A = this chain, B = another copy of it.
């Protein structure tokens, strides 16, 4: 390999090209806005929107996003993401590592229900736009999930008979729809799903936080995958706060249950190592 050999500078710089942020000595622009003008002028939530979408939100859209981000910050230390971060905080790693350990658990099952609910709502919207009756489409979707033995993502909660975050979030969406800030289409479809799930049952299966935030994010035009991304930003707050609480407590190498309790053992009894 010859040191004389050259390559186009653009090849390397293009490999890491981005439409997000332009950096030059003494200059930082986010989506074209000089950072020194953003500081103090743009809210944190507006800046989140700006980075993810490329433009600022229209006035009252921002308040809806703010409400959804606020609603999901925490659900207590029994959530595995939170518990993992708390345990990490007792193991001598940085708070950044503790937060990463928690966020890493917000996968298809723990944090992905919102994303899946958004995909379902988008699918229902496509069927509606194709002329299908929304109530009929919702009933069909519920039937399909039940036939496959799967939960309808975003509905029902293993702990809360009715998730206390549902009503205020849906109420804000309804207000925004009345004011013309959002269309209300996804809200209506989610309510069709709720009706279809409740039909013929004694106990309804109301929307949970994943479903309610899915409605917000769909109404605001976020793609489903960013539903998970926004949940990550929101829950990171709780993850950090719990890790910090644990750090202040000073425990070391804290396991899931108190030390004197032992994990039950279900494997083979003691035996001799075979000669190899």
Partner of A94 from the list B52, B76, B112, B265 (CB cut-off 8 Å) is: B112
* Inter-chain contacts of A109 with B (CB < 8 A): 90-92, 252-253
Across the interface, do A18 and B242 meet the contact criterion of CB distance under 8 Å?
yes
Q: Mark A116-132, 1 if CB is under 8 A from B, else 0.
A: 00000000000000000
Across the interface, do B91 and A81 meet the contact criterion of CB distance under 8 Å?
yes
CB distance from A23 to the nearest CB of B (A): 4
A240 within 8 A of B: yes
How many chain copies?
4
Question: Which residues of A from 219 to 276 have beta carbons under 8 Å from B?
Answer: 225-226, 228-229, 232-234, 236-238, 240-245, 247, 252-259, 261-274, 276
With contacts A18-B76, A38-B273, A51-B238 taken as known, whether A232 is within 8 angstroms of B99 at the C-beta atoms is yes
Interface residues of A (CB under 8 A from B): 1, 3-48, 51-52, 54, 56, 59, 63, 66-67, 69-71, 73-81, 83-84, 87-88, 90-97, 99-101, 103-112, 158-165, 167-169, 171-172, 225-226, 228-229, 232-234, 236-238, 240-245, 247, 252-259, 261-274, 276
